[in-house]
Amino acid sequence: MLKWVSGCLVVAIILVVGGSWWAYRTMKGTLEPDGSARVTIAATPHRVFASLADADSVESWMGQGNIVSTSQHGPLVPGSRIRISIRSRAGIAQQPMEWIVRQVVPDQLVVRELVTDKGQRAALRRDSLAASGDSTVVISNIVSPMIDSVIAAKQKSSGQPPSPMAGVSGDLMVSMFKIQSKLELETLKAHIERKPVR
């Protein structure tokens, strides 16, 4: 009986891990070859920007399923903060993420930086807008200065090239940020076009 239960548990774990990996690979496949997230929204750049760069609108498309709060109301400006508190179903406390707006160019660009509670620059996200006929293309690019600096520091201290595992774990973390940005842009598209997200 114990062997049967253990066997079922192993199969369940394999299915969960396999399913998660398949979902990750599927979502990663929706990114552009350069790793950016790109979504076309049926609206003018001005209208898209009004939702993308407004503190009162951010809650409707960013950090879906979590608690999103901002440091102000109205248009985002350099220094504005977007705090995302992760809802955990397992009851494990999660450290909130805080994005700080670094640059805003009306109807063209919003740059945010994810800063850890220790002040480290975990990720930098650039959402740029470009008109395409009567629609708008939003392109989101994410890099991680923190991961790059950690890998460079390890390489410098050891004098050895970075280990493959360090590269894989760093790539996985950045990929998760990129996939999240793709999901958020799809939600923004649905919000603006007033269509339900599938």
- Structural domain boundaries, residue 77: 36-193
151 plus 55 within the same structural domain: yes
pTM higher than 0.85 for the full model?
Answer: no
Q: Is residue 198 part of a domain?
A: no
Q: How many domains does the chain have?
A: 2
58 plus 130 within the same structural domain: yes
| pLDDT digits (tens), the chain, 198 positions | 556 655 555 555 664 544 444 444 555 556 768 889 999 999 999 999 999 999 999 988 887 778 888 989 999 999 999 988 877 665 555 677 899 999 999 999 999 999 877 777 888 999 999 999 999 999 999 988 765 555 445 555 655 555 544 444 556 777 888 888 999 999 999 989 985 555
Using CA atoms, how far apart are residues 136 and 5, in angstroms rounded to an integer? Answer: 54
Using CA atoms, how far apart are residues 32 and 10, in angstroms rounded to an integer? Answer: 35
3-state secondary structure of 122: strand
Using CA atoms, how far apart are residues 39 and 37, in angstroms rounded to an integer? Answer: 7
Using CA atoms, how far apart are residues 43 and 132, in angstroms rounded to an integer? Answer: 10
| H/E run at residue 92 | none
17 plus 60 within the same structural domain: no
CATH number of the domain enclosing 105: 3.30.530.20
